[in-house]
Chains A and B, each alone.
Chain A
């Protein structure tokens, strides 16, 4: 996906160039608790149908942002619109809550009630008419393998099962926009995959998904774009594009054998580049692999190394994340 909605990019440009509906649009959104900023100066655009990853270390302000956008807590300053409705005033907050589905950080289920009772209650709160509501509840409970357990109190469920009930609850009214705050935390790999597949299926149906996660691999695999936050927005972009923008490529050279003398000589020849020993050879940090790799290989050969293979290793998404967050 081409880059759009990068922080600081003028809105008009975004709207003009891409013919896509903006679903989330924040400008200088800020939330303070006491004097302390939890989220500061956040300007973001999320388009309809995107899976938008929202990453950042603990305490970065992800949950606070989700709560502001879902109309649960007030903002301190700045502005935000959800599907054109202004975040803040009570009547537009009702409109926003109608079209938004929320999976909060804590599942927050009524432990004494059964999944069916819980979904039925929330379906009614969202004004879903009886027939479609029942059909939708059955579809969701079957999707998450909970239909057989639909009448058991949720208190008897495992964490993962509860997470699925909570996700079903977020979907009960067929929301156009979903805020999922760490949907796969605490899930076993298979359940996490079910949730990820579900997210992709929801995307196929044209829904927009705002996804908070600490799982970088997950973000990279399912998000069209990601934002990295640490109170302030650090960056926004497609995961591949973020990786490409980061310098620090590495060339991995497998050798027949290595020793300290060879390492020393190669370091001298390739200085000031960083050269590290790896299990089967050396790893050399390069700026521009295409230009520098021949030189790297020649230096190793001239130092007496016998090259088996040369592989280029780009910066991982984790590298990007850590570099930005440690900033």
Chain B
């Protein structure tokens, strides 16, 4: 496996992505929305009447930290299915497979192109989010709430694992459907488990303690490994040209 080859594929994917406005805008918009929108909500709520009690604030902030993961899980599946279903629609996989690159290199390139933009925008968004929230927490709690171990585990472990899960799902979904709309619809289901965790944490059902977060990471890691095997088996040149619909 030559990473340089995969990187050539990834750069091409990113060039196509730049021309696919709808995907490009969602990659840019989601983290911006979270980074600026959530602090605005907190500040607006905190500014009115008695405001948010200092005891509730940490729970709320931890849940909000997890909110990023919903975008991190939603975006890669969209990009991956665009890049694979898109090639199916344009029938451009055949000339690509005719080049001296292995299936793994092509797959890695496509995976990187679906992985990097969402993860970079998640990180960029979270930095803005933490900076804005700290302004608020210093005033309210007397100390800056971020960064802390919770958001560290979320960003360092859960975000990339969720992103990877989403990329792999995109690959598997792409082999099963033949139009981008269906790929998007199936891919949309990706956010459900993460949205469920978010809601559960918000209502106190699943507190986002370290231990819980590490457990979530562990589950993701196992699912990622399994799905890697499935997606690797899906992306075989013989099947792509003769069996993919």
Contact = CB atoms under 8 A, between A and B. Distances in A.
A170 B19 CA distance: 24
B229 interface: no
A110 B17 CA distance: 11
Contacts of A67: 94, 241
Given A94-B100, A125-B100, A153 B95 contact: no
B99 interface: yes
Contacts of A169: 95
A97 B98 contact: yes
Contacts of B99: 97, 122, 125-126
Interface in B6-26: 8-9, 11-12, 15-16, 19-20
Interface in A128-166: 153, 166
Contact of B94 (A33, A104, A122): A104
Contacts of B12: 110, 113, 117, 121
A72 interface: yes
B8 A108 contact: no
Contacts, number: 77
A108 B102 contact: no
A205 interface: no
Interface string A1-38: 00000000000000000000000000000000100000
Name B's interface SS.
Answer: helix
Q: Which of B11, B95, B102, B237 has the most CB of A within 10 A?
A: B95
Interface string A161-186: 00000100110000000000000000
B140 interface: no
A110 B16 contact: yes
Sorting the interface of chain A by its residue count into under 10, 10 to 19, 20 to 34 or 35 or more gives: 20 to 34
Interface in B138-187: none
B92 interface: yes
A125 B101 contact: yes
Given A110-B16, A112-B19, A112-B20, A166 B95 contact: yes
A98 B100 contact: yes
Given A72-B237, A72-B241, A74-B238, A112 B16 contact: yes
Interface in B217-245: 237-238, 241-242
29 contacts: A33-B242, A67-B94, A67-B241, A70-B98, A71-B98, A72-B97, A73-B241, A74-B238, A90-B102, A94-B100, A97-B98, A97-B99, A100-B98, A102-B95, A104-B98, A106-B91, A108-B94, A108-B95, A112-B20, A113-B15, A113-B16, A117-B12, A117-B15, A121-B8, A121-B11, A121-B12, A126-B99, A153-B19, A166-B95
